[in-house]
Amino acid sequence: MFARIVTSFFITCVAAAGFVAATEHLAVAQTPATAAPAPLPPPKPEMTEQEREKNLTAKQLFGAVQLPSIGKAVAIGYYPRGCLAGGVELPINGPNWQVMRLSRNRNWGHPTLIQFLEKFAPLAAKATGWKGILVGDLAQPRGGPSPSDHSSHQTGLDVDIWFMPMPERELTREERNTISAINLVAEDWKHLNPETWTPEHVAFIKTAAQQPGVERVLVNAVIKKELCRVVKKQPHDWMAKVRPWYGHHDHIHVRLRCPAGSPNCRAQEPVKGDDGCTGKELDSWLSDKRLRPQITKPAPPKKPPKPMMLADLPPACKTVLESPARNTSFANDKR
């Protein structure tokens, strides 16, 4: 059953290969061509710390760090421009969760995010009847921008959780790096895929949005529209937090609000009280103008945006990057 879902999703994804956001969770396995080994280049002189920070982008610097900084956990800056001190690792297996994409080493977060997941996993399992949840990216060990995929997830307060139930058995390392998440949206990006969408997905999203400390739950606009239809006649205060966003057809993105003890964590503007089901906003997400870049390949930007450097992040992030590493018992065996 599990394998069948995976296969059918893979086909869907191939059909939608033009949608750039659909590639977020697709791991492309490439077999290197066999060739005679090239002679090794002469060793480069080591860069000093200052030279590294000046010449390398923030994502190269933060992406190269394998372990968290020592000290108290603090979320610093804004979700798409910040970092994380004293990050904590989510164990790769829990009673109701398994972490995917282990080779990325992005299962780190602020302790409030780890506690959220430990609490949410059994609640989601109960609400949906699933065995548990599949957890995608949290943050890098010290947060910051990452070499691929996300512009947010930098402060250790964001997590992606797949729309696919956790299987009964423990997935292998290989499977966790290669299996694709199921897509709940049809190929036209205007309707749900009846083969993958289930009523349990409503319970899953609702449970996430109802947890204390949750600031936003991002889903594809098609999914938001269906939620609006389903919950119309029931109380649904939680719906205000469920917001449409690009992609998010194969996972939810849960964002927690700034925790206590992180004075330099910048809060996102709170959601307005309305459920977001009426008015122009939701419809505009499904308009041809907004959908086109998802269906056809968007034109490449005229000038690539200037890469984010360490100096573009809050000054405390330099200290986080340069701090000694805390050795943890979990930080191994992911490759």
**Residue number, 103 or 296, with CB nearest to Zn ion:** 103
Kindly state the smallest distance separating residue 142's Cβ from Zn ion, in Å: 18
The beta strand positions in the chain, using DSSP E, are 74-78, 81-85, 88-89, 93-94, 97-99, 108-109, 133-135, 158-165, 214-219, 242-244, 251-256
- Sheet with strand 158-165: strands edge to edge: 93-94, 97-99, 133-135, 158-165, 251-256, 214-219, 242-244
Helical H runs in 171-220? 173-178, 199-209
Q: Does 249 bind Zn ion (CB under 5 A)?
A: no
Q: Which of 24, 89, 160, 215 binds Zn ion (CB under 5 A)?
A: 160
d(CA 255, CA 267): 11
Ramachandran area for residue 279 (φ above 0: left; ψ -120 to 50: alpha; else beta): left
Residue nearest to Zn ion (CB): 253
184 CB-contact burial (10 Å; exposed 0-12 / middle 13-18 / buried 19+): buried
- Are 17 and 297 in contact, with CB atoms under 8 Å apart? no
Q: Does 176 bind Zn ion (CB under 5 A)?
A: no
Q: Does 104 bind Zn ion (CB under 5 A)?
A: no
Q: Does 24 bind Zn ion (CB under 5 A)?
A: no
Binding segment toward Zn ion, per CB under 5 A, in 156-164, 235-243, 286-294, 310-318: 156-164
**Residue number, 55 or 213, with CB nearest to Zn ion:** 213
Kindly state the smallest distance separating residue 207's Cβ from Zn ion, in Å: 18
Measuring CA to CA, which residue among 70, 110, 140, 38 is closest to residue 262?
110
**Residue number, 1 or 101, with CB nearest to Zn ion:** 101
d(CA 213, CA 215): 6
Q: Which of 253, 256, 265, 276 binds Zn ion (CB under 5 A)?
A: 253
Phi and psi torsions of 133, nearest 5°: -115, 155
Kindly state the smallest distance separating residue 160's Cβ from Zn ion, in Å: 4
Q: Does 201 bind Zn ion (CB under 5 A)?
A: no
**Residue number, 160 or 275, with CB nearest to Zn ion:** 160
**Residue number, 95 or 124, with CB nearest to Zn ion:** 124
Kindly state the smallest distance separating residue 153's Cβ from Zn ion, in Å: 6
Q: Does 106 bind Zn ion (CB under 5 A)?
A: no
What 3-state DSSP class applies to 83? strand
d(CA 100, CA 139): 13
Binding segment toward Zn ion, per CB under 5 A, in 27-35, 47-55, 81-89, 249-257: 249-257
**Residue number, 153 or 201, with CB nearest to Zn ion:** 153
Q: From residue 276 to residue 315, what is the string marking binding to Zn ion with x (rule CB under 5 A)? A: ----------------------------------------
- Sign of the C-alpha dihedral computed for residues 199, 204, 210 and 216 taken in this order: negative
Tokens of 88: 């904590």
**Residue number, 97 or 235, with CB nearest to Zn ion:** 97
Q: Which residues bind Zn ion (CB under 5 A)?
A: 160, 253
